[in-house]
Structure 1
Amino acid sequence: MLKFAVMASGGGTDFQSLIDAVKAGQIDAEICCLIASKPDIYAVERAKKAGIPVEIVQKKFFGSVEAFDRAILATLKRYLADFVVLAGYLNIVGPQTISAYENKIINIHPALIPSFCGMGMYGSHVHEAVIAYGAKYSGATVHFVNEEADAGPIILQEVVPVLEDDTPEDLAARVLKTEHQLLPRAVALMAGGKLRVEGRIVKILE
């Protein structure tokens, strides 16, 4: 059975969707650890309740981005992670880690990439931008991670409507429900060896 690490920076609702899917047998893989960007996030409590090991790796304690990258990679290797899932992780994954886990790092973004993504587009900023632009649809995207923010090959996408009276909070809640379905599906495909990357195209194998 494959092992995957989850990396998170917040409340961990996407992380919880993975915990639940593994427990229900929908994902044929083991969560080997949670790598948290700080100690006081609720994702850490979710991991403890589920009996998942927690590693706190805080960027501010490293003298350079290279040292931080090495620490992340060393942690993943120590837990023998076969692949990695970013579930609301707000730090940029470094080049050493990306190289070691090429097409093995999955991220979820709360919009339809390539729209409303890239540097600075995270959390409520995304939904505020969608509404301000007047977009009629938003959604969620699961993609592989490469060296450019939110630019890796797309695995799955799901569309949600943007309603005329939506606040960013309304839209965020609607997108989040989709995330909780989409991310476990993508991870299940990854764990089952059902994803093949050809250039920018991700093919889902039968």
Structure 2
Amino acid sequence: MTAQHLKLGFLASRNGSSARAVIAAIESGRLDASARLVVSNNRTAPLLAFAEAHAIPALCIATQADPRAADARLSEALQTAGVELVVLSGYLRQLGPKVLGAYRNRVLNIHPGPLPRFGGHGMYGRHVHEAVIAAGVAESGACILVVDEEYDHGPVIARHVVPVEPGDTAETLEARVTAAEPGFFVETLQRIAQGELKLPG
């Protein structure tokens, strides 16, 4: 096992709960990492203000007007900041070829349900929990996966099980999975930093 210092970049569209938890773990010394850059596609994303308050470089890169230019700018910004591993924390845009090419097997996302069964296009947020409840399965949970060109398609590197309780609704299940996600992301990054968990490639 070879320990390593993680040089992290964060992408978020809104609040970035997992990103906040990871940054808190870095600041408290529980995670051997540095937060190099926070980027949002949304100028009013609360995570941008959070990053600035914690002296982390923050940037808004809008993606809708010119996705190709935004992809190139994002790739350049991450590399210039020295980012080696990208954490998606509620980033509601598909990554482009420049970022995915520069960070092949180095972009991690968290999905709020079992993969591959409850993943793919349109399977996000409450939709995932509704599908889990409708399927009548006994377990749900969160998956951390390596991001590639397809939604929820890359290899899953860690799973956190959340049992489906009798009488659960999509809302109650969502609340428990959402509460578990930030700590699970921190734990997974700790395992990577400590050399216990290897990324593909």
Give the TM-score normalised by structure 1: 0.88
- CA shift, 1:112, in A, is 1.4
**Structure 1 residues 194 and 103, CA gap change in structure 2 (3 angstroms):** farther
Question: Could you list the runs of 5+ residues in structure 1 that have no partner in the other structure?
Answer: 200-206
The structure, 1 or 2, with the larger RCO (C-alpha pairs under 8 Å, 6+ apart) is 2
| 1:12 paired residue number | 16
Percent identity (aligned): 37
1:57 and 1:29 mapped to 2: Cα distance? 24
- Asked if the contact 1:8/1:86 (under 8 Å) is kept, the reply is yes
**Pairing 1:44–2:48 present:** yes
2:157 and 2:29 mapped to 1: Cα distance? 21
- Asked if the contact 2:118/2:128 (under 8 Å) is kept, the reply is yes
**Pairing 1:33–2:37 present:** yes
Q: 2:79 aligned to 77, 80, 84, which one?
A: 77
| 1:59 paired residue number | 63
1:91 alignment partner, SS class: coil
- Asked if the contact 2:112/2:143 (under 8 Å) is kept, the reply is yes
Q: 1:109 aligned to 108, 111, 118, which one?
A: 111
- CA shift, 1:197, in A, is 4.5
**Structure 1 residues 51 and 40, CA gap change in structure 2 (3 angstroms):** same
1:95 and 1:40 mapped to 2: Cα distance? 26
1:31 alignment partner, SS class: strand
| 2:143 paired residue number | 141
**Structure 1 residues 12 and 147, CA gap change in structure 2 (3 angstroms):** same
- Asked if the contact 2:140/2:162 (under 8 Å) is kept, the reply is yes
1:39 and 1:167 mapped to 2: Cα distance? 33
Q: How many residues align?
A: 197
| 2:26 paired residue number | 22
- CA shift, 1:168, in A, is 2.1
Q: 1:89 aligned to 63, 88, 91, which one?
A: 91
What is the identity, as a one-letter code, of the residue corresponding to 1:45? Answer: A
- Asked if the contact 2:63/2:70 (under 8 Å) is kept, the reply is yes
RMSD: 1.8
Question: Could you list the runs of 5+ residues in structure 2 that have no partner in the other structure?
Answer: none
- CA shift, 1:54, in A, is 1.0
What is the identity, as a one-letter code, of the residue corresponding to 1:131? Answer: I
| 1:204 paired residue number | none
2:198 alignment partner, SS class: strand
**Pairing 1:156–2:158 present:** yes
- CA shift, 1:38, in A, is 0.1
